[in-house]
Structure 1
Amino acid sequence: MTADVPELPPIPPELARLRHSIDNIDSALVHLMAERFKATQQVGVLKAELALPASDPGREARQVARLRVLAEEAGLDPVFAEKFFAFVVAEVIRHHEDIASQA
């Protein structure tokens, strides 16, 4: 026995347009993150070759300060920007540690 599934109302054109825009932005973010991680992988290889630590707290602090300013200028919550950056940096450091352990 199948239950009757209520029919959803049609999506208003403005909502469809906005969702399409969001989907495009999400696609761009994924591609940008992929490019960023390609660059950080190269950094990880170089750090391993030079026996440098995976983490650079001084650079990370400077980046946080810079990104907070950029976020404020863009109308983005700087706390969110910092949390997002911390998430990305933690993944980068993990990659760098993996690269160093294989060197």
Structure 2
Amino acid sequence: MTHDTAEQLASYRRTIDNLDSALLYILAERFRCTEQVGHLKAEQAMPAIDNERERRQLDRLKSIANDVGLSPHFVEGLMRMIVGAVVERHRQIAAEK
């Protein structure tokens, strides 16, 4: 590997590391917000899952995925994992009330 190649690779990897950190901060903020939603739902005796909301959101995000060149299948799997964690937390919050 040439010096230029090693430098370019290191530069790409620094960018990837920064983006990974940003993703985690964004996810943490998303989970802080959904925590508030969970408390509100528990106080109002609302169900943890809103299937219609989830369907609309997934459709919207898959459309965005297409627009930005991401696999809609990947985005769907990612969002199902995230929403699954949120729903589990909402159920815990409701059980604590």
TM-score after normalising by structure 2: 0.95
What's the counterpart of residue 77 of structure 2?
Answer: 83
In terms of Rg, which structure is larger?
1
Aligned-residue sequence identity (percent) comes to 45
- CA drift at 1:58: 0.3
How many residue pairs match? The answer is 95
> 2-side partners of 1:26 and 1:38: how far apart?
19
Map of 1:17 onto structure 2: 11
2:23 aligned residue: 29
**Superposed structure 1 runs of 4+ greater than 2 Å apart:** none
Give CA-to-partner distance per residue, 1:28-77, whole Å, 9 cap, x none. Answer: 00000000000000000000000000000000000110000000111100
Structure 2: runs of 5 or more not aligned: none
Superposed displacement of residue 102, structure 1: 0.1
Which secondary structure does the structure 1 equivalent of 2:46 belong to? coil
Normalised to the residue count of structure 1, the TM-score between the two structures is: 0.89
Once residues 17 and 44 of structure 1 are traced to their aligned partners in structure 2, the CA distance between those partners, rounded to angstroms, is 40
Q: Which has the higher helix share?
A: 2
Q: Which runs of 5+ in 1 are unaligned?
A: 1-8
Q: Residues of 1 paired with 2:66 and 2:8: CA distance?
A: 28
1:99 CA displacement: 0.2
CA RMSD of superposed structures (Å): 1.3
